[in-house]
Amino acid sequence: MSSPAAAISATRERCGRNRDALRRSLEALPDSFVNRYRFAEEKDSLTLPLYAKTPLCRGLTRHEEALGSLELTQNEARILWALAAHAKGFGFSAGEKGVSLLPYGWLEITGAKQAKPVQMLAEKCRDAGLPWLEAENGRFYRLSVAPKRLFFDAEAFCYDLSFVPEEDKWRLTLCRGEIETPLGKVAAVEKGILVSRTVEKRLQQVREQGLSCIDDDGALKELAKKSIEQKLNLEQTGLRKFLRIENNQYQLACRFRGC
């Protein structure tokens, strides 16, 4: 067998309708074989939009480019979210009969209602020269992008800060609500860490007054990386960056909830 999709198809034929046997057989395949993604380099990283009005972006962090050659509908954007969430091992639950979760990011979609838009999206991406979606036998689908290269639109995230007197620190909580997709639901995410008074004051400054990374000599960038981004383990949330730099100005990637 020359591809993961071929393995899925052959294993499916052998196991018939026994999905538990299929899942066990797929899990027994070597990772080096199953996870041969078409796109795995950092330059292939994708930020998936939440809404149709937001373009899909590709490329290195801080150097992403909007892909104007691929215009997505909101349903198509949410289909990508579903596939990405499953690939990354996030909480994803199939919403209707005819959608089954398989290992290594694969979905088996037997319902014609659900399969047709996914197949059309795969063809749309391929026609745009962006063959991200693998499809086999009209029923097996996955994003052929390494999971660590998949990120979600910062518009879906928010953060909050609350003082913790007994620690003399602030609790920073990063949240993303549950996302409805045509294939099911992407579970909500909430992660919290303690940050110093200094970090809280610097975030407030960026939020309310603005701050140039030139005037700051990049100090906040390093502070945010060590005190926030690494502690939150952003890759596990799907957010690409918490603190961004645009036109030499610091910007918080997600909105402040302030509640």
Which 3-state string (H, E, C) describes the chain?
Answer: CCCHHHHHHHHHHHHCCCHHHHHHHHHCCCHHHHCCCCECCHHHCEEECCCCCCCCEECCCCCCEECCCCCCCHHHHHHHHHHHHHHHCCCEEECCCCEEECHHHCEEECCHHHHHHHHHHHHHHHHCCCCCEEEECCCEEEECECHHHEEECHHHEEEEEEEECCCCEEEEEEEECCEEECCEEECCEEEEEEECHHHHHHHHHHHHCCCECCCCCCHHHHHHHHHHHHHHCHHHCCCCCCEEEECCEEEECCEECCC
Same domain, 142 and 193: no
Select from 116, 151, 186 the last residue of a domain: 151
Same domain, 179 and 92: no
Which pLDDT score, from 0 to 100, does residue 141 have?
A: 94
Q: Which residue has the higher pLDDT, 175 or 12?
A: 175
Strands of 179-181's sheet in order across: 92-94, 184-186, 179-181
Same domain, 167 and 56: no
List beta partners, residue 152: 48
Share of the chain above pLDDT 70, in %: 87
Q: How many folded domains does the chain comprise?
A: 2
Interacting residues of 48 by C-beta distance below 8 A, sequence separation 6+: 56, 77, 80, 81, 84, 150, 151, 152, 153
Q: What is the pTM of this model?
A: 0.86
Q: Which residue has the higher pLDDT, 95 or 209?
A: 209
Domain containing 226: what range? 154-256
- Type of residue numbered 47: T
Same domain, 97 and 224: no
Interhelix angle 112-127/74-88, rounded to 10 degrees, is 100
Same domain, 147 and 163: no
Same domain, 119 and 233: no
Which pLDDT score, from 0 to 100, does residue 259 have?
A: 47
List beta partners, residue 191: 174
Same domain, 136 and 193: no
Same domain, 24 and 140: yes
Same domain, 144 and 161: no
How far apart are the C-alpha atoms of 45 and 39, rounded to whole Å? 8
How far apart are the C-alpha atoms of 12 and 71, rounded to whole Å? 34
Same domain, 140 and 14: yes
Evaluate if residue 93 carries a pLDDT over 70: yes
Span 47-61, average pLDDT = 94
Select from 151, 182, 209 the last residue of a domain: 151
Sign of CA dihedral 61, 144, 48, 229: negative
Evaluate if residue 6 carries a pLDDT over 70: no
Output the average pLDDT for the chain.
88
Evaluate if residue 9 carries a pLDDT over 90: no
Span 115-128, average pLDDT = 94
Span 7-12, average pLDDT = 64
Same domain, 165 and 249: yes
Select from 111, 126, 151 the last residue of a domain: 151
Please report which confidence band the pLDDT of residue 29 belongs to, taking 50, 70 and 90 as the band edges.
low
Span 229-239, average pLDDT = 93
Pairing status of strand 184-186 against strand 92-94: antiparallel
Kindly report, residue by residue over 202-213, the tens digit of the pLDDT.
999 999 988 888
Which pLDDT score, from 0 to 100, does residue 46 have?
A: 97
Q: Contacts for 94-101 with beta carbons within 8 Å, 24 or more apart?
A: 94/183, 94/184, 95/180, 95/181, 95/183, 95/184, 95/185, 96/183, 96/184, 99/183, 99/184, 100/19
Kindly report, residue by residue over 127-160, the tens digit of the pLDDT.
999 999 999 888 899 999 999 999 999 999 999 9
Same domain, 118 and 161: no
Please report which confidence band the pLDDT of residue 184 belongs to, taking 50, 70 and 90 as the band edges.
very high
